[in-house]
Amino acid sequence: MFELRLEQGSLLKKVMEAIKDLVNDANFDCSATGFSMQAMDSSHVALVALLLRSEGFEHYRCDRNISMGINLANMAKILKCAGNDDIVTVKADDGTDSVTFMFESPTQDKISDFELKLMDIDSEHLGIPEAEYDAIVRMPSAEFARICKDLSSIGDTVVISVTKEGVKFSTRGDIGTANIVCRQNTSVDKPEEATIIEMKEMVSLTFALRYMNSFAKATPLASQVTISLSSDLPVVVEYKIAEMGYIRFYLAPKIEE
Amino acid sequence: LKSQTRIARFFRAS
């Protein structure tokens, strides 16, 4: 038997909104460690890794490891039915082919349950090697979202370059070019508004903007985003999920062949 | 011209 209870149900809603357009189907793995998921987008260019640690839930019970194959659009439909303040319980019995979502209003005067059919998903689990990154940029997530949105009105790809000057986001398209430079900014009272750049080596990589815009749908989950870059390696765009874990997006670079 | 790579080029099946 598997059961989790999350008082801040809106968190699960936000997680689903962040990944439902990128990934169609995924296996959610439940173990003593927590609730996790790894999946590629249909083009096999991007990879999403989600971890919600068991300690972060108000209640978490997992008698044996299970893997639940779920269509994300359908799970998102169900989670949309939860109120933002609702307490969410997810449970699955051993050997059944469905998972139940229960939503309780904070005052306990409305209780809903939804049963979602599970599916067999034959997905490849990729090993993500530990990497030392050439540059790590931490910046306000809303700023990153704004930059990706603005640049995508000009071009299809973004070149992210980290130098001593800061981090530069550049694009070019039919109408012209755009460059946005963000400098390190630690002298703010509010840490959520800081931009911090750790650079070991200068790095410049090219990525498809439409994926970056898709990742930015995770913005409501965290005030800061961490972008880790190394030459000729996938970028990692990470949103921490308050006290519980993270959602990490990996995107393969465009490379001169 | 740069071409799009796939994730499997960097991360192998585990």
Q: Answer whether A250 sits within 8 Å of B14, measured CB to CB.
A: no
pLDDT value of residue A152: 98
pLDDT value of residue A165: 87
What ranges make up the beta strands (E) of chain A? 2-6, 25-30, 34-40, 46-53, 59-62, 66-71, 87-92, 98-104, 111-117, 135-140, 157-163, 166-173, 176-182, 196-199, 203-208, 224-229, 235-241, 245-251, 254-256
What mean pLDDT comes out for the span A23-41? Answer: 96
Strands A2-6 and A87-92: what pairing?
A: antiparallel
- Looking at every residue in chain A, the average pLDDT score rounds to 96
Question: Count of A–B CB contacts within 8 Å?
Answer: 56
pLDDT value of residue A92: 95
Q: Where does the pLDDT of residue B13 fall: very low under 50, low under 70, confident under 90, or very high at 90 and above? A: confident
Query: Does A189 score more than 90 pLDDT?
Result: no
Distance CA(A163)–CA(A169), nearest Å, equals 12
Q: Answer whether B10 sits within 8 Å of A252, measured CB to CB.
A: yes
What mean pLDDT comes out for the span A118-135? Answer: 91
pLDDT value of residue A188: 74
Please, which residues have CB within 8 angstroms of residue A52's CB and are 6 or more apart in sequence? A15, A34, A35, A36, A241, A244, A245
pLDDT value of residue A232: 87
Query: Does A222 score more than 80 pLDDT?
Result: yes
pLDDT value of residue B1: 83
Query: Does A81 score more than 90 pLDDT?
Result: yes
Query: Does A43 score more than 90 pLDDT?
Result: yes
Q: Answer whether A256 sits within 8 Å of B1, measured CB to CB.
A: yes
Q: Where does the pLDDT of residue A34 fall: very low under 50, low under 70, confident under 90, or very high at 90 and above? A: very high
Q: Which of B7, B13, B14 is nearest residue A252 as measured by Cβ atoms? A: B7
What mean pLDDT comes out for the span A154-173? Answer: 97
